Amino acid sequence: MPGIGVISNRNARLNRLHPELKDQLAYVIGSNGEVTSTGTIPDVYKAAETFRKIGIDIIAISGGDGTAHRSLEVLLDVYGTHKLPPILLLPTGTQNMVPRSFGIDGSGLANLMLAVVRYRHNVPMQCIRRNLLRVNGHLSFMYGIGVAARFMKGYYEIGDTTPKGAATLLSRLVLSAATGTELCREMLKVVPSRLELDGEVADQARIHTLFCSFVERLPLHFVLFPDAGREEGRFEVAYSDVPPLKIAQQFPEVLSGSRRDLPGIKRQLARRMVIDLGEPEAYTLDGELYPETDHFEIEAGPELEFVVPSLQFKAEDEHLRYGQAGPWGMRFLL
């Protein structure tokens, strides 16, 4: 019985705070799979090669959003033309915006326990089918430039990489917008840009914020991309160049996941996007910062299946694409 393979990033926030979590994951898995502790990309390659060799049924990733996208890059490279098993994202990072977008609530340990019980008893689990973004050769769920990257840079610089730290920085930014201080001016500096969506020039503007996403949520529970998972191969684009106070007025709508037009924020679905900037900008993929560049080619990457182990499947949108993991042809173990 191949079982469930777990990649546990020991550098993830909760794993650093609670080193015993890896042993707890191993205890839960028992004889139903294998847990590998990783700290470097070569560690992930070794785990992926082992999982492919023994034919693991489900791959769980214990870490944050950055851990997920880097691990998936490695897994897809190792599996190559072989089908990648369903993926279970265990929330043990700082924001966990990707698993939250898929309806995975609670701790990583609780979700793994539920998945193991259902796997052990051969009970199928629901999956959400979702593409990854391909950004200049990288794979991720979300891409951002402008405010997104600048916010993450400030977030890491203050040293409090927790939801509280993110909320504190956001509060400082809102206050700065109201008083017109340097923080706001630097964070919302506009950049000349040329945007091409699906082969057509969409805009030539000076934007301060742009996102492309295959997941619904931003950190702090903002739902800016309610249509991100509705269609295979089409991600949601959102960008803006309006003053921050006008964007702040849309916060209630963004928190609720509204699909109505938001003044000052342009949103649409696309299969491919090319961005040329007037000057190089750092960018972020799932909360991780990447070096400055002035040209981006973004398109839909592979579609994967993500396990949602909850007993009651709570879909945010009835139009999302679903699948099923299991049954695995085992006997029921009582």
Q: Which residue has the higher pLDDT, 80 or 179?
A: 80
Per-residue pLDDT at 142: 94
> 138-301: same fold as 4-131+303-325?
no
Binned at pLDDT 50, 70 and 90, residue 334 comes out as: very low
Sorted by sequence, the CB contacts under 8 Å of residue 331 that are 6+ apart come out as 122
- Read off the pTM: 0.86
Averaged confidence pLDDT in the chain: 84
Q: CA-to-CA distance for 10 and 18, rounded, in angstroms? A: 9
- Flag whether pLDDT at 164 surpasses 50: yes
Per-residue pLDDT at 180: 61
Q: CA-to-CA distance for 91 and 105, rounded, in angstroms? A: 8
> What's the fold here for domain 138-301?
Tumour Suppressor Smad4 (2.60.200)
The maximal CA–CA distance of the chain, rounded, in angstroms, is: 66
Domain ranges of the chain: 4-131+303-325, 138-301
DSSP string, 306-323: EEE--SS---S-TTS-EE
- Mean predicted confidence (pLDDT) in 226-245: 86
- Mean predicted confidence (pLDDT) in 295-303: 96
- Mean predicted confidence (pLDDT) in 299-313: 87
- Mean predicted confidence (pLDDT) in 15-28: 79
Q: Which residue has the tokens 């915006």?
A: 97
**Homologous superfamily (CATH) for 4-131+303-325:** Probable inorganic polyphosphate/atp-NAD kinase; domain 1 (3.40.50.10330)
What are the tens digits of pLDDT across the range 106-156?
888 899 999 999 998 899 999 999 999 999 999 999 999 988 788 777 666
Per-residue pLDDT at 68: 92
